[in-house]
Structure 1
């Protein structure tokens, strides 16, 4: 019998774990597959780790992976993918916003020959109009800048054939934007649209700061356009500065209004200073990411290795 590995990153989700586990068990009973359920505890400070250990002891389907600290959602997903050895691997969140009842449809598409089945979130129940607008604008900006197309509404709820998972493990970059990585890998892919329900319990752990970092990872990982725009901005500011110099010379030579020129000087200094700081900030962002990559530190550390470690 083929085995399906389900990878679920967990960060302070004690109110959701048991309900999610029961729903997964109920759904998988309706399929013709055995399954493994990998809970990746991402340094939770609540009772999540204890609940996962209890489920491990009661049900051999449950496998716990316990990160040494909070490494972030994308790294937690990576950890699960590194250890999942099923014939196909499904990644999803454990707050019920990725509906388990869609799993049979994912499996059906996989059986039809697709190696990646990506879910596309049409909307989320109860989400604010501001978040919808900023998300839509972000994907438009990203797709205009990146050299690959990233589907608007794409989520980390997807099925991947083990062939794709093994290829994914070869990607070692520190800044993880898995949606873009999977989309850029190729293979035979298809999509399923769904409406994300509200969380079963608790609140989202994806703070505005984390969302901003995630957005920057997506842009800097797949586009050097910000650096190119910095060059264009520098050339434009140089042209404007040259025109200002001509203006100052004209005032000095042909008029008697040279003394009050402090306003022109102040404006040009402020303009050039702003351009320079912006360009330095963009360059610094890329240099910071280069610095993180060249250190070649491990993406994550586990509190303890699983008993049956999988060869990668």
Structure 2
């Protein structure tokens, strides 16, 4: 009896690449002995993405398209797909064809070996600058040291999850979502498949350095309290140094009768302590802001419309 299988594809302004992506994905699914489904999630695109998805759903009964009410971000779009899906195995993949759909049968084979999460690890990466590769590698290594939940290196969102792994993810309703961390946090048996990542097939990337920096901050603050510890030790160190220096100035005045000059030194100390305090307040503010967002308990997303049907999984 064939198993049920679904592919979740978050899409934001991907009209240029959708036809080619769906053709390659459909060819892969045709070769898999499974009852398959494709869930496209339009994350509030401003181009013709939704119209293209409606056309794909009309032409292919396996396709179901969701349109979110606005751009909630990729993490929310993936969550919408996980909330909608009902399958024995689920693959999450981007529509830009940097991650090859042809790798899906290998992910399925590893899942059938008994793994709950099979993540695709990037080996060689085309179409990326040295700066991008360096900063990406640095981020994963920093997270490896800071987080209590180890993240696999050089691994994006492209992966397969079993039914119970998806059900576990559905229980995690935090608003500040860093999906790579959540994938690792749920545990279960996980393994990797190394692949060659291609350059973007068409269109422009949505991940500039500003958004990537914000994602890095999100990941660090969601899965580590190390910045708070750093702020604490920075404050302790600054206070200790200030005390020792003040003691030294006092002893000089008492023993040798040196006049207390040191206007430049005083300014350096004041600026150092002020900077350390502002840094600590900024770190604390990041965590307080996330606590505030969680306390409001707003929904993660809203679905504006659906198109296409869900095939009956048996």
Aligned to 1:183: 184
Instruction: Give the Cα separation in 1 of the matches to 2:308 and 2:297.
Output: 26
Instruction: Give the Cα separation in 2 of the matches to 1:106 and 1:147.
Output: 27
| Deviations, residues 56-115 of structure 1 (Å, cap 9, x unaligned) | 122211111101111111111111111011211100001111101101111111222211
Aligned to 2:95: 94
Distance apart, 1:265 and its partner CA: 1.4
Instruction: Give the Cα separation in 1 of the matches to 2:79 and 2:211.
Output: 17
Instruction: Give the Cα separation in 2 of the matches to 1:38 and 1:308.
Output: 10
Aligned to 2:53: 52
Aligned to 2:146: 145
Identify the structure with bigger relative contact order (alpha carbons < 8 Å, sequence gap 6+): 2
Q: SS where residue 287 of structure 1 aligns?
A: helix
* Larger deviation, residues 48-57 vs 281-290: 48-57
Name the TM-score, length of structure 1 as normaliser. Answer: 0.95
Distance apart, 1:305 and its partner CA: 5.5
Aligned to 1:231: 232
Aligned to 1:291: 292
Q: Which runs of 5+ in 2 are unaligned?
A: none
Aligned to 1:300: 301
Instruction: Give the Cα separation in 2 of the matches to 1:200 and 1:5.
Output: 23
Instruction: Give the Cα separation in 2 of the matches to 1:10 and 1:24.
Output: 14
Distance 1:63 1:254, change over 3 A: same
Distance apart, 1:297 and its partner CA: 0.3
Instruction: Give the Cα separation in 2 of the matches to 1:212 and 1:6.
Output: 28
Q: Which structure 2 residues correspond to residues 8-19 of structure 1 after superposition, within 5 A?
A: 8-19=9-20
Q: Which structure 2 residues correspond to residues 1-312 of structure 1 after superposition, within 5 A?
A: 1-304=2-305
Distance 1:149 1:102, change over 3 A: same
* Larger deviation, residues 76-85 vs 248-257: 248-257
Q: Is the 8 A contact 1:237 1:272 kept in 2?
A: yes
Instruction: Give the Cα separation in 2 of the matches to 1:308 and 1:224.
Output: 44
Instruction: Give the Cα separation in 1 of the matches to 2:193 and 2:94.
Output: 16
Distance apart, 1:259 and its partner CA: 4.5
State the superposition RMSD in angstroms.
Answer: 1.6
Q: SS where residue 196 of structure 2 aligns?
A: strand
| Deviations, residues 241-296 of structure 1 (Å, cap 9, x unaligned) | 10121122123323454242212211110110011010000000000000000000
Distance apart, 1:179 and its partner CA: 1.3
Runs ≥4 in structure 1, deviation > 3 angstroms? 254-257, 305-309
Instruction: Give the Cα separation in 1 of the matches to 2:309 and 2:245.
Output: 70
Q: Is the 8 A contact 1:28 1:34 kept in 2?
A: no
Q: SS where residue 104 of structure 1 aligns?
A: helix
Instruction: Give the Cα separation in 2 of the matches to 1:202 and 1:78.
Output: 24
Distance apart, 1:307 and its partner CA: 7.9
